[in-house]
Chains A and B, each alone.
Chain A
């Protein structure tokens, strides 16, 4: 099974009046020709 790859995405969310800054690990997918 191929190893999953991730990137680190900086995220800022404003919700219920509060600002949250996080770094999220997001999975990446290799594009196929039909993409």
Chain B
């Protein structure tokens, strides 16, 4: 079964059936243990020069159910925040991707407000587009 493969997410990461000549698949995956009562940024990515980044999806999950906070930062602004139990699916898709231009920074913030240390897995995926002639 596809979802049992450890590379399941890598396998479906492009989020787009066909990419044009200047487009390549992109993803960032961050995995770490956040201690009880602490927060951290598990993903911190800045779009490189001459590229446009289309984020088509993302997933945040943790190994134990509990009360956690997820925030999505673009540059220094929080664009999405939610309390979650075990998983969060980001509200992007192929037809409404979130587009970032070169120099923009995207970060995934996780706060563990439980009383135990929790392992978190975070993924953002999509495709990047090389801007010809830039």
Which residues of A are interface residues toward B (Cβ below 8 A)? 5, 7-17, 24, 26-31, 35
Q: How far is the CA of A26 from the CA of B47 in the complex (A)?
A: 19
The reply to whether A35 and B69 form a contact with Cβ atoms under 8 Å apart is yes
Quick check: B34 and A7 within 8 Å, CB to CB?
yes
Give B16-51 interface residues, CB cut-off 8 Å to A: 24-35, 37-45, 48
User: Given A8-B32, A31-B37: A14 and B13 within 8 A (CB)?
Assistant: yes
Q: Determine whether B88 belongs to the interface, using a CB cutoff of 8 Å to chain A.
A: no
Per the bound structure, the CA–CA distance linking A31 and B115 in Å amounts to 12
Sample (22) of A-B pairs whose CB atoms are under 8 Å apart: A7-B34, A7-B35, A9-B30, A10-B30, A10-B32, A11-B31, A11-B43, A12-B28, A14-B27, A15-B24, A15-B48, A15-B128, A16-B24, A26-B32, A26-B40, A26-B44, A27-B40, A27-B41, A28-B34, A29-B38, A35-B69, A35-B111
Q: Which residues of B contact A13 (CB under 8 A)?
A: 27-29, 45
Chain A neighbourhood of B31, CB < 8 A = 9-11
Q: How many residues of B contact A (CB 8 A)?
A: 28
Name the B residues within 8 Å of A31 (CB-CB). Answer: 37-39, 111, 113
Closest to A12 in B: B29
